[in-house]
């Protein structure tokens, strides 16, 4: 049974309170934590945006969003009204002095409360908002600031944001959020590796052939064409989500679960990533861009139509990478990463493929021997599956087939676990930074990604086209098959 330990009373200030992230993720997450009594009515949720609006108007918008994005079974009228009573709205302009005095006056009514400031805004506003909070006296020792990805557009802009926020906030009070790190399965990577010696003994180049990380989406840019065309898949997914997953898979055991002990080990992995040299880019990376095709049984347009452009774009909606970690544990073990939009299935999964036996007593012409695989599913259904060879039952002789030991977390534990934002928001209130990125992690990730971006920019080749509803350009298949391997595609 899931245990929800209560947190201290807080005043959660959400900047960008009228945006999609707040309505779709943050308010539903806070509602579910309130419903499970993880915080009480002594806490407040202060919604902030520059749009002129009163609290009643905002509560109506919030109620509409909650009815749309909270599971119907979790909605009841009494809890909903009690939650909305905690929500207020204030008009504040991040780039002027309008509204700041009123916001700080509201916060000063309860000086003992923990103050999470969630910046659900564009990254360009992170520095100005924090500077304004400091100038108007809105910060105190129990303040925390939450920064959404992306942290910058490149290494220089990431450093500029970190410098601006760091001028007024100590690192221990800065929470750079990556919602992938709040997923139950991602956190179970630590338990899998360091609480189970059976796996940790196998977790090295002697036993593992390669690792695949796939994050696939069926959707296109979904109205984010302006942002996405300046970003692309490498910046949007690889630099943060996927490199963080790689770190958890490849890191050495921390000396404890202390936040900095865990993050120190992740940083070592980022620093050990082998740089892809310019002459290797075509062999180690594949860029793609979707064209018209089908998704979820319906015809869909290509990327250029989605972003409303009549000219060609060099922005990639798909990227596949071969990544190597220069460490004793992982020498010679490739990590294959792929992510893209308009792919056949929405799935995020990790495949750890073990080496084939050096000798087999079973004739290969009679038995379809498959290597052992550990599948770690992040979505749509969180769980793990260990694939091994077993004998088919029956008296017809010795015939082998692959069989899976399957664990679905929801089925195994018989309860709904909080989603990533629910967990991470409560960690912010507690001041637990373990599942958040530290400044040097962000900058090390940009330091590895940026040379790829620069090499791509220097070359005029457009991303390779792939039909919407396919698994990306055929060059991505060729990249892994040159190494005698193939992408794993689950059937469920």
- Region label for 124, one of left (φ > 0), alpha (ψ between -120 and 50) or beta (otherwise): alpha
The answer to whether 74 touches 35, Cβ cutoff 8 Å, is yes
298 is catalytic: no
Give dist(CA 342, CA 472) in Å, integer.
9
- β-bridge partners, 291: 467
- Count of positions (residues) in the chain: 492
Nearest to 272 by CA among 241, 293, 291, 251: 251
The tally of CA atoms less than 13 A away on the side-chain side of residue 260 is 4
Strand (E) or helix (H) holding 208: strand 208-216
What does the DSSP 8-state code read for residue 400? Answer: E
Nearest to 349 by CA among 379, 386, 319, 318: 379
Say how many C-beta atoms besides its own lie within 10 A of residue 346's C-beta: 14
Give dist(CA 341, CA 293) in Å, integer.
12
- Among the listed residues 136, 241, 298, 367, the single catalytic one is 241
Give dist(CA 369, CA 360) in Å, integer.
9
User: Which residues are the active-site residues?
Assistant: 241
């Amino acid at each position: 049974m899931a245990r929800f330990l209560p947190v201290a009373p807080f005043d959660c200030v959400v900047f960008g309170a009228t945006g999609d992230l707040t309505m779709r993720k943050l308010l539903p997450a806070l509602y579910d934590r309130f419903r499970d009594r993880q915080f009480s009515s002594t806490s407040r949720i202060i919604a902030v945006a520059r749009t002129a609006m009163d609290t009643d108007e905002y509560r109506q918008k919030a109620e509409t969003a909650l009815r749309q994005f909270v599971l119907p079974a979790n909605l009841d009228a009494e809890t909903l009204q009690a939650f909305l009573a905690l929500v207020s709205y204030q008009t504040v302009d991040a780039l002027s002095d309008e509204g700041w005095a009123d916001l700080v006056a509201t916060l000063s009514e309860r000086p003992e409360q923990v103050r999470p400031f969630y910046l659900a805004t564009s990254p360009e506003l992170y520095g100005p908002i924090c500077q304004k909070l400091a100038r108007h006296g809105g910060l105190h020792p129990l303040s925390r600031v939450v920064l959404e990805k992306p942290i910058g557009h490149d290494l220089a802009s990431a450093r500029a944001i970190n410098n601006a926020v760091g001028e007024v906030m100590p690192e221990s009070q800065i929470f750079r959020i990556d919602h992938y790190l709040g997923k139950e399965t991602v956190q179970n990577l630590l338990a899998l590796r360091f609480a189970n010696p059976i796996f940790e003994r196998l977790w090295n180049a002697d036993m593992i052939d390669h690792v695949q990380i796939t994050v696939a989406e069926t959707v296109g840019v979904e109205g984010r064409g302006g942002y996405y065309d300046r970003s692309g898949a490498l910046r949007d997914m690889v630099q943060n989500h996927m490199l963080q997953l790689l770190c958890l898979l490849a890191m050495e055991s921390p000396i404890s679960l202390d936040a900095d002990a865990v993050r120190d080990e992740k940083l070592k992995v980022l620093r050990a990533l082998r740089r892809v040299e310019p002459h290797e880019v075509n062999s180690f990376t594949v860029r793609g861009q979707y064209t018209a095709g089908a998704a979820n049984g319906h015809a869909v347009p290509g990327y250029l139509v989605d972003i409303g452009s009549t000219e060609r774009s060099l922005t990639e909606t798909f990227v596949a990478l071969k990544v190597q970690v220069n460490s004793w544990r992982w020498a010679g073990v490739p990590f294959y990463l792929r992510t893209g939009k308009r792919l056949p299935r929405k799935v995020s999964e990790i495949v750890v493929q073990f080496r084939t036996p050096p000798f087999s007593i079973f004739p290969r012409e009679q038995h379809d021997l498959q290597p052992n695989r550990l599948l770690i599913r992040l979505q749509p259904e969180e769980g793990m599956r260990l694939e091994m060879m077993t004998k088919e039952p029956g008296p017809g002789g010795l015939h082998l087939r692959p069989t899976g030991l399957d664990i679905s977390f929801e089925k195994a534990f018989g309860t709904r676990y909080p989603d990533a934002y629910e967990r991470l928001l409560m960690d912010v209130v507690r001041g637990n930074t373990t599942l958040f990125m530290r400044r040097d992690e962000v900058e090390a990730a940009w330091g590895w990604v940026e040379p790829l971006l620069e090499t791509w920019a220097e070359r005029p080749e457009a991303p390779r086209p792939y039909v919407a509803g396919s698994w990306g350009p055929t060059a991505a298949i060729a990249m892994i098959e040159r190494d005698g391997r193939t992408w794993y595609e689950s059937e469920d």
